[in-house]
A and B are shown apart, each in its own frame.
Chain A
Amino acid sequence: MAFDVIVVGGGVNGTGIARDLALRGIKTLLLEKRDLGSGATGACSGMIHGGLRYLIYSIETTIHSCQDSGYIQKIAPHLLFRIPFLMPIPHPATAPFFETYFEVYDKYAPLKHGLPHTRLNREQVRSLMPNLSDQVQGAITTDEWGIDPHRLCAANAKSAEEHGAVVRTYCQVTEFLKDSSGAILGVKVRNRDGSQEEIRSRLVMHATGPWLMRTSALAGVQVKIRPGKGVHLTFDRRLLNLSVILQMIDGRQSFIMPHENTSVLGTTDDDYYGDPDDLRVTEDEVEYLLQGAERFIPDIRRARVIRAWAGIRPTLYAWGKNEDALSRDHLVYDHEKLDGVRGIISIAGGKLASYRLMSEEAADLIAQKLGIAAACQTHLVPLPGGEEILDPAQVAKEYGIPTYAANRLVFRHGARASQILEPTRKHPALKQVVCRCEPVLAAELVYAIRHEWAVTLTDLRNRTRLGAGPCQGFRCAARAIPLLAEELGLSGEQALEQLLAFLQRRWRGKQPVLLGTMVDQEALNQAAYFGTFNLDRLVEPPDPDRGPGF
């Protein structure tokens, strides 16, 4: 089977490019070595950033970010939620500076349907956030858009598939096929079951993010990035419904922000020289974030942190700059021009907010090389689910599900929520709540397995947030495994292996934040799965899963 283009990497750029190509009628294969969004995309803060920060030194980035943020809202209105931002002002003397800054930013805000800034005095800030430190004299408000990056990847991949692309997860590129001149002819892959195959294409689109240096070396081309590690902490609930801009000990900015139905604190930015497949959150990183947050929110340590996770930004390479000051610009590499190697294109840098733009650039170059005239449509055609805005209350009433479950289902799937719930008419058991923290219904899990390439419990976590809440899978893992086993025809042993693999992944994110009730809860978790269910004695230990840990 031959393709026009093989896209290597299933993050937001890989899936975005696959979609763009498919919409232009280009025969595309998307390959991802783990699950969609398992790299930088899944570990990001979850915001379609308007580029507020870059106003000073990269106004282009700000303009592009705002503009494309507007496009994404159009094509996937269900996926975005408004996050009001609070920027505390410790010294009234600095207020005019910030006001001026925001007055300029306000000019670009309409591009992303943002609201103009406001200024709050001490009393007004206190009424919004009574536990803010006494230091805060006032604040400026702005807003950004939050997004679920996993859903974004899934939606782009689904759109690609619906327009003729083939999507394969757990399919790792082990070699690039070359001719005698070094031109790329395709790839050799290893599947989940260990089997290998060769697949040919006219072009390879190389979008592996944190793995760019590794995979480009395999291909015989040069892509240099400056990998930047970023860590986040997740709290057990929404501490606030707005985001607060925090100042860390080293002057960096960080946020505590609403994230799905929790709050998240992050992020860090440190040069990373290690293995992108072996990410660990350190004690220092956890302390850095909490210490920074403590300055404006003195009682932050009373809140329960349920998880810590890390990711690597594939930032464009530059020497001599501090991590924070690095450009968030992106680059599409035409290796024929740069390295004299035909048949391969790479992409690096960028931000989540500019993925569609980045994909368009890459796809334009690909189309040009393939001699195809079709233009980009990704800003015009709605993503799956974005065709129509549903009213969750209506959905809840029509199918007889809890309203909150309908809210979350519509957030994740938009107009497709009805399609997911239709089978419940004939099979009411599909309305069963499997994950209570979120909540997630059985119908959604079945849909993710049948139509969104989910084959493990962690894949289901990515699609639906199963196990991502405060219980971290304590209740829902045992409920979800029979469903997965039924759908995939797993033997008992295979099902238990999957269960243990999921617990292992949950464990990885819990380890750095084992404090207070998290220790008590883990004691119960271990008593349940090892003391009673005896999994440690019955199942081979899984792959340690040294990935990002979200």
Chain B
Amino acid sequence: MMSLSPPPAGPGQVDLVVIGSGLAGTAAALAAAGPGQAVVVVSRGSGASHLSSGALDLADDPVAVRGRPERACREVAQNLEELLRRNPAHPYHLLLDGNGSLPPLLDTMQQSFFKLFPADGHLILEGSFQHNRFAFTSLGTIKATAFVPQSTAVAGEPCLQRPLVVGLEEFPDFDPGFWPRVAAPLAEKLGAPMRGGQSGWARLGLAPDLSAPELAQLLAEAEPAERLISALRNEAKGFPGLTGIVLPPVLPIRGRGRLLERLEQAAGVPVRELLSPPPSVPGLRLGFHLEDRLAQARVRMVRGSVVGFRAEGKNLRAIAVEAAGKKQELEAAQFVLAAGSFAGGGIRKGKRFQEPIFELPIFCGNQVVGEIYTAKLTRELIAEPHLLFTCGLKADSSLRPLGPEGAPVFENLRVAGAILQGSDPARDGTGAGAALATGWRAGSLWC
């Protein structure tokens, strides 16, 4: 990236610039923001957080037995210990204290979580720091996770004993007839069997073949919402004895709570949404919620891509942001890079691995990787874990990214989230936890 000449004198200095507005970037910004602290977040607009399922993973069970999900250890602390033991490169290690014990890590995670998702906020998550729970997906499978959006279908809930599974004709990505084929045997294995259920369809009279976000947008309007309400009312009438209704996650991004209430009133039973892969409405909702939190904390958001920086030796002075053909320079005392991994755009692999903003070296398993045939970092079976997706930046205990010699590249740059090496943010079962914890730490540390 090119160096830029210093800008003309401008308004008051910024204390912290955070690059990236996902979980990690938001955590960093909120940790730092406060009276007398000017924080700016630079964001391209959307990243991996928007593409997530909306569930937050803190610590999965690394030894969950295939096909025997009921055996999965669901104690988060136990999972963490096992994970840390098996993976010495995991970013969680950066947050342990000198003795390598867990409490500092758990404290950081919790502080971060409650600041991003306050109990009186608009996005209510359900879960705990002690136990994982099994959430149901739109395919009928179960996923162990720590926190899910409120009213997500979770195994063991009484309302799922005799569920009415409803699909929408305009939404072909969900088949309510297929869902029980997968979900029912899994529920049985978990000791919470479904004692019968039914499948139904709702027709909203909309264009065919809509994506979940499109449907969510339409359901924010009165007429389609009314149709959904009537449909559920009718379907529920045709199934006496039902305990709850299961829907794919297509309710509006804003105003979900209100519609959910009305649906439950009409049907007379609880209504639950499932988790789904991208494009996922709960993911979008999460992304927008993070932006809302930043706005509430009076953190300034600058939209654009980072296209350059200016440094004096090991001191990062400013970054250049480009948006709609215009460039502006942002000076600050401290910087946090939370630009994500491949899905977020913080790391790229062409002929060589690249961190495109500061050209920081990429590590894999603590070794620098440059030009390498990508397939070498993958395994033959797709279901096995791949080193490729764990590649990222190496950081010291202050979360400063290291150069190839092992020294921090800049004194006042910290990194957080999926851009760190050592974890596969999507498959590790720790994506959200690592983002929350490292983000919070990066925002709390000062030179």
Contact assessment for A479 and B172 in the assembled complex, using a CB-CB cutoff below 8 Å = yes
A503's closest neighbor in chain B, by CB?
B382
Residue A514 contacts which of B209, B381, B388 (CB distance < 8 angstroms)? B388
Contacts of B389 in A (CB 8 A): 523, 526
Contact assessment for B143 and A504 in the assembled complex, using a CB-CB cutoff below 8 Å = no
**9 nearest A-B residue pairs (beta carbon):** A528-B277, A527-B426, A482-B178, A492-B182, A507-B382, A482-B175, A514-B374, A492-B181, A531-B426
Contacts of A479 in B (CB 8 A): 172-173
A419 in contact (CB, < 8 A): no
Smallest CB separation, A487 vs chain B (Å): 12
Check A491/B143 contact, CB under 8 A, given A433-B209, A529-B277, A532-B53.
Answer: no
Contact assessment for B278 and A504 in the assembled complex, using a CB-CB cutoff below 8 Å = no
Contact assessment for A539 and B66 in the assembled complex, using a CB-CB cutoff below 8 Å = yes
A432 in contact (CB, < 8 A): yes
Smallest CB separation, A528 vs chain B (Å): 3
B280's closest neighbor in chain A, by CB?
A532
Interface residues of A in 501-545 (CB under 8 A from B): 503-504, 506-507, 511-512, 514-516, 519-520, 522-524, 526-542, 544
Instruction: List 29 A-B pairs, Cβ < 8 Å.
Output: A432-B208, A433-B209, A478-B277, A479-B173, A482-B177, A486-B178, A490-B181, A492-B185, A492-B186, A493-B185, A495-B178, A496-B141, A496-B182, A504-B382, A506-B382, A514-B378, A514-B388, A523-B389, A524-B51, A524-B343, A526-B389, A526-B424, A532-B53, A532-B280, A533-B139, A534-B143, A537-B69, A538-B69, A542-B381
Most chain B C-beta atoms within 10 Å of own C-beta, residue among A482, A486, A514: A482
- Chain A window 464-497, contacts with chain B (Cβ cutoff 8 Å), 1 for yes, 0 for no: 0000000000010011011001100011110110
Check A538/B181 contact, CB under 8 A, given A523-B343, A524-B343, A528-B277.
Answer: no
Contact assessment for B140 and A492 in the assembled complex, using a CB-CB cutoff below 8 Å = yes
A475 and B279 CA atoms in complex are apart in Å by 10
Contacts of A154 in B (CB 8 A): none
Residue B383 contacts which of A434, A482, A500, A527 (CB distance < 8 angstroms)? A500
Contact assessment for A492 and B183 in the assembled complex, using a CB-CB cutoff below 8 Å = yes
Contacts of A496 in B (CB 8 A): 139, 141, 182
Contacts of B277 in A (CB 8 A): 478, 527-529, 532-533
Contacts of A490 in B (CB 8 A): 181
B67 in contact (CB, < 8 A): yes
Contact assessment for A530 and B342 in the assembled complex, using a CB-CB cutoff below 8 Å = no
A526 and B390 CA atoms in complex are apart in Å by 13
Contact assessment for A537 and B66 in the assembled complex, using a CB-CB cutoff below 8 Å = yes
Interface residues of A in 95-114 (CB under 8 A from B): none
Smallest CB separation, B408 vs chain A (Å): 27
Check A533/B143 contact, CB under 8 A, given A485-B181, A511-B375, A523-B341.
Answer: yes
A283 in contact (CB, < 8 A): yes
Contacts of B350 in A (CB 8 A): 515-516
A-B contact count (CB 8 A): 153
Contact assessment for B349 and A514 in the assembled complex, using a CB-CB cutoff below 8 Å = yes
Smallest CB separation, B147 vs chain A (Å): 14
A536 and B139 CA atoms in complex are apart in Å by 14
Taking A492-B181, A527-B343, A538-B69 as given, write out 15 further A-B residue pairs in contact, using a Cβ cutoff of 8 Å, ordered by the A residue number: A283-B375, A475-B173, A496-B141, A503-B382, A515-B349, A515-B351, A516-B349, A524-B343, A526-B386, A532-B53, A534-B137, A534-B144, A536-B384, A537-B72, A541-B384
Interface residues of B in 364-400 (CB under 8 A from A): 373-375, 378, 380-384, 386, 388-389
Check A516/B67 contact, CB under 8 A, given A493-B185, A530-B383.
Answer: no
B17 in contact (CB, < 8 A): no
Smallest CB separation, A312 vs chain B (Å): 20
Smallest CB separation, A300 vs chain B (Å): 14
B112 in contact (CB, < 8 A): no
Contact assessment for B141 and A530 in the assembled complex, using a CB-CB cutoff below 8 Å = no
B184 in contact (CB, < 8 A): yes
Contacts of B186 in A (CB 8 A): 492, 538
Interface of B is mostly: loop
Interface residues of B in 54-77 (CB under 8 A from A): 55, 64, 66-67, 69, 72
Contact assessment for A531 and B383 in the assembled complex, using a CB-CB cutoff below 8 Å = no
Contacts of A537 in B (CB 8 A): 64, 66, 69, 72
B427 in contact (CB, < 8 A): yes
Contacts of A432 in B (CB 8 A): 172, 208-209
Contacts of A523 in B (CB 8 A): 341-343, 389, 426
Interface size of A by CB at 8 A reads: 51
Residue B427 contacts which of A433, A482, A506, A527 (CB distance < 8 angstroms)? A527
B116 in contact (CB, < 8 A): no
Contacts of A529 in B (CB 8 A): 277
B275 in contact (CB, < 8 A): yes
A506's closest neighbor in chain B, by CB?
B382
A511 and B382 CA atoms in complex are apart in Å by 9
Check A514/B375 contact, CB under 8 A, given A479-B172, A485-B181.
Answer: yes
Residue A539 contacts which of B67, B173, B342 (CB distance < 8 angstroms)? B67
Smallest CB separation, A67 vs chain B (Å): 43
B276 in contact (CB, < 8 A): yes
A241 and B278 CA atoms in complex are apart in Å by 33
Contacts of B184 in A (CB 8 A): 492
Smallest CB separation, B445 vs chain A (Å): 28
A490's closest neighbor in chain B, by CB?
B181
Residue A504 contacts which of B343, B383, B427 (CB distance < 8 angstroms)? B383
B80 in contact (CB, < 8 A): no
Contact assessment for B375 and A530 in the assembled complex, using a CB-CB cutoff below 8 Å = no
Interface residues of B in 387-430 (CB under 8 A from A): 388-389, 424, 426-427
B131 in contact (CB, < 8 A): no
B176's closest neighbor in chain A, by CB?
A482
Contact assessment for B374 and A519 in the assembled complex, using a CB-CB cutoff below 8 Å = yes
Smallest CB separation, A255 vs chain B (Å): 24
A540 and B65 CA atoms in complex are apart in Å by 10
Contacts of A533 in B (CB 8 A): 137, 139, 141, 143, 277
Contacts of A503 in B (CB 8 A): 382
Check A527/B278 contact, CB under 8 A, given A532-B143, A538-B67.
Answer: yes
B348 in contact (CB, < 8 A): yes
B184's closest neighbor in chain A, by CB?
A492
Smallest CB separation, A263 vs chain B (Å): 20
B142 in contact (CB, < 8 A): yes
A432's closest neighbor in chain B, by CB?
B172
A219 and B424 CA atoms in complex are apart in Å by 50
A530 and B386 CA atoms in complex are apart in Å by 12
A534's closest neighbor in chain B, by CB?
B143
Contact assessment for A530 and B426 in the assembled complex, using a CB-CB cutoff below 8 Å = yes
Contacts of A538 in B (CB 8 A): 66-67, 69, 141-142, 186
Smallest CB separation, B113 vs chain A (Å): 19
Contact assessment for A519 and B181 in the assembled complex, using a CB-CB cutoff below 8 Å = no
A434 and B172 CA atoms in complex are apart in Å by 8
Contacts of B383 in A (CB 8 A): 500, 504, 530, 535-536, 539, 541
A281's closest neighbor in chain B, by CB?
B375
A534 and B134 CA atoms in complex are apart in Å by 11
A294 and B15 CA atoms in complex are apart in Å by 49
Contact assessment for B142 and A534 in the assembled complex, using a CB-CB cutoff below 8 Å = yes
Contact assessment for A516 and B348 in the assembled complex, using a CB-CB cutoff below 8 Å = yes
Smallest CB separation, B353 vs chain A (Å): 10
Interface residues of B in 182-215 (CB under 8 A from A): 182-186, 208-209
Smallest CB separation, A236 vs chain B (Å): 16
Smallest CB separation, A36 vs chain B (Å): 25
Contacts of A542 in B (CB 8 A): 381
A527 and B278 CA atoms in complex are apart in Å by 9
Smallest CB separation, B425 vs chain A (Å): 8
A491 and B181 CA atoms in complex are apart in Å by 6
A534 and B145 CA atoms in complex are apart in Å by 11
A62 and B20 CA atoms in complex are apart in Å by 61
Smallest CB separation, A21 vs chain B (Å): 40
B345's closest neighbor in chain A, by CB?
A520
- Chain B window 135-158, contacts with chain A (Cβ cutoff 8 Å), 1 for yes, 0 for no: 001011111100000000000000
Check A519/B177 contact, CB under 8 A, given A433-B209, A514-B349, A527-B277.
Answer: no
A536 and B386 CA atoms in complex are apart in Å by 13
